[in-house]
Amino acid sequence: MIELHRLTKRYGGTTAVDSLSFTVGPGHVTGFLGPNGAGKSTTLRLILGLDACTSGHALINGRPYASLSRPMHEVGALLDASAVHGGRSAYNHLLCLARTNDIGPARVTEVLEQVGLADVGRKRVGGFSLGMKQRLGIAAALLGDPEVLMFDEPVNGLDPDGVRWIRGLMRSLAAEGRTILLSSHLMSEMALTAERIVIVGRGRLIAEATVAELTAAYPSLEDAYMALTASSVQFGAAR
Ligand SMILES: Nc1ncnc2c1ncn2[C@@H]1O[C@H](COP(=O)(O)OP(=O)(O)OP(=O)(O)O)[C@@H](O)[C@H]1O
């Protein structure tokens, strides 16, 4: 479970996350939506302790990230697939991560197979396509077999086969009773993958509802999103 209590982050005069409170429960995929600059990535970074919050707090299974003794066993995340050392092989990249959390090499082989990278595991990550790097980032998130998983735009760069694979993976991880928070701008994918939706705009909570509730109230999830975020879009192009 992920719990946010009045989470706030200011960067100078910019309030990226503004007193944000919501809970992400286990057993289903929760979609995390919002316009560009709404504060989604900042929120994910705050949950993972990669950035210090200004006030409020975020808890993973009831505890702040910093107090988790073996964090990869509790929470896994894909935030930025390109944040990998290009000179290392996929296998070695994962092995380095695994060692920091007492995870053995057999698990590295297992997750490489799970994400479809077993055949290129010994190749340098620098030569990987964006889609391959996304798969590697997902493998890293899965390494510790965590109960809580967070993915920021995981389908970026994936081919249609990969997009379908991600959809199935997210749903099966949720069906295993895990807590899945999935950030994406692809409404059609979100409608097929998520059961619950959290929408933010300008750092604030706009809506928290099931996909079924939103699609009952609006013609589609995309229509619901457009209506609910209409006054929160900061970077709309001239029409
Ligand atoms: N390190 C930082 N320093 C200063 N401002 C930042 C920093 N990180 C984020 N911001 C600002 O915080 C706000 C929220 O950004 P964030 O990246 O969290 O939004 P987002 O919802 O993930 O956007 P997108 O959908 O475009 O990825 C933006 O105004 C952004 O410019």
Which atom of ligand 1 is nearest the CA belonging to 12? 4
Residue 40 Cα to ligand 1 midpoint, Å, equals 8
Task: Show the DSSP H helices in the chain as ranges.
Answer: 40-47, 90-99, 105-114, 130-142, 160-175, 187-193, 211-217, 221-229
Please report where in the chains the tokens 């692809």 appear, as a residue.
186
Domain boundary among 145, 160, 180: 145
Based on the fold, state whether residues 92 and 70 are members of the same structural domain.
no
Distance CA 156, CA 75 (A): 21
φ/ψ of 6, rounded to 5, equals 45, 40
Based on the fold, state whether residues 222 and 152 are members of the same structural domain.
yes
Note the pLDDT tens digit of each residue in 126-182. Answer: 999 988 999 999 999 999 999 999 999 998 888 898 899 999 999 999 999 999 999
Q: In a mutational test of the pocket of ligand 1, which residue from 4, 8, 11, 199 has the highest number of ligand atoms less than 8 Å from its CB?
A: 11
> 7: helix, coil or strand?
strand
Q: Name the pairing type of β-strands 2-11 and 29-33.
A: unpaired
Mean pLDDT of the chain: 94
Q: Count up the domains in the chain and report the number.
A: 2
Question: 237 lies in a domain?
Answer: no
Based on the fold, state whether residues 126 and 62 are members of the same structural domain.
no
Residue 14 Cα to ligand 1 midpoint, Å, equals 9
Question: 239 lies in a domain?
Answer: no
Nearest CA among 44, 78, 68 for reference residue 58: 44
Based on the fold, state whether residues 141 and 161 are members of the same structural domain.
no
Instruction: Confirm or reject: Cβ of 162 under 6 Å from ligand 1.
Output: no
Residue 39 Cα to ligand 1 midpoint, Å, equals 6
The number of beta carbons lying within 10 Å of the beta carbon of residue 85 is 12
Taking CA atoms only, the protein residue closest to ligand 1 atom 10 is: 16
Question: Between residues 236 and 163, which one has the greater pLDDT?
Answer: 163
Structural domain harbouring 113: 84-145
Note the pLDDT tens digit of each residue in 183-234. Answer: 999 999 999 999 999 999 999 999 999 999 999 999 999 999 999 999 888 7
Please report where in the chains the tokens 């992920």 appear, as a residue.
2
pLDDT recorded at residue 81: 85
User: Considering Cα of 181, then 222, then 234, then 18, what sign does the dihedral take?
Assistant: negative
Q: What percent of the chain has pLDDT over 70?
A: 99
CA distances in angstroms from 21 to 35, 55, 161, listed in the order given: 18, 12, 35
Q: Is the pLDDT of residue 239 over 70?
A: no
Domain boundary among 121, 145, 169: 145
Instruction: Confirm or reject: Cβ of 11 under 6 Å from ligand 1.
Output: yes
CATH number at residue 216: 3.40.50.300
